[in-house]
């Protein structure tokens, strides 16, 4: 039995989860990573993706966008600008998220904003990829 660590998932509007877990898989900006108890202290920004929390109570998945994760001695804290339990996410919500990413991409494209175009394109691709993980098809854009 692996050691347990404290895990908190907080969004600006409310705290979504606070429990003891064995491991958390985090969609970091530089790639996915898994945090377990006694992980070295680390702060990473998040890309839109799937956050998987495994603990004694089973496995829970959350769709998170934007924010950062802080892994410390006392546990892991994920602060996400938007976080939704993957089981509760509906096609409508998902499509809404993809569409807003798409709109941001087009806007950046129209403004010819250089780096912002790449960032927005990456965001859109991440969004579309989430759909594959949770079994939803992205809308036709």
Answer whether 11's CB lies under 8 Å from 81's CB.
yes
Residue 86, token pair as written in the block: 């993957």
Q: Is 25 in the site for another protein (CB under 8 A)?
A: no
Residue 92, token pair as written in the block: 């409508």
Q: Give the span between the Cα atoms of 90 and 96, in whole angstroms.
A: 10
Nearer to another protein (CB atom), residue 90 or residue 137 = 90
Q: Which of 43, 59, 103, 109 binds another protein (CB under 8 A)?
A: 43
Answer whether 83's CB lies under 8 Å from 17's CB.
no
In the numeric block, the tokens 């979504």 are attached to: 16
Q: Is 95 in the site for another protein (CB under 8 A)?
A: no
Answer whether 15's CB lies under 8 Å from 8's CB.
yes
Q: Pick the stretch among 3-11, 48-56, 87-95, 128-136 that binds another protein (CB under 8 A).
A: 3-11
Interacting positions 102-141 with another protein (CB under 8 A): none
Q: Which of 4, 25, 82, 121 binds another protein (CB under 8 A)?
A: 82
Residue 2 DSSP one-character state? P
Q: Give the span between the Cα atoms of 131 and 32, in whole angstroms.
A: 17
Q: Which of 2, 3, 32, 45 binds another protein (CB under 8 A)?
A: 45
Minimum CB distance to another protein, residue 35 (Å): 12
Q: Is 79 in the site for another protein (CB under 8 A)?
A: yes
Binding site for another protein (CB under 8 A): 8, 10-15, 28-30, 33, 40-45, 66-68, 70, 72-73, 77, 79, 81-82
């Amino acid at each position: 039995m692996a050691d347990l660590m404290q895990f908190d998932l907080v969004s600006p509007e409310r705290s979504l989860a606070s429990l003891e877990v064995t491991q958390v898989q985090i969609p970091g900006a530089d790639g996915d990573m898994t945090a377990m108890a006694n992980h070295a202290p680390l702060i990473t920004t998040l890309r839109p993706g799937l956050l998987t929390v495994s603990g004694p109570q089973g496995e829970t998945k959350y769709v998170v966008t934007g924010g950062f994760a802080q892994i410390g001695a006392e546990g892991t804290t994920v602060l996400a600008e938007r976080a939704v339990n993957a089981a509760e996410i509906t096609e409508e919500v998902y499509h809404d998220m993809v569409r807003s990413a798409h709109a941001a991409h087009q806007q950046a494209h129209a403004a010819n904003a250089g780096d912002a175009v790449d960032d927005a394109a990456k965001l859109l691709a991440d969004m579309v990829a989430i759909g594959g993980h949770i079994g939803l098809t992205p809308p036709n854009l």
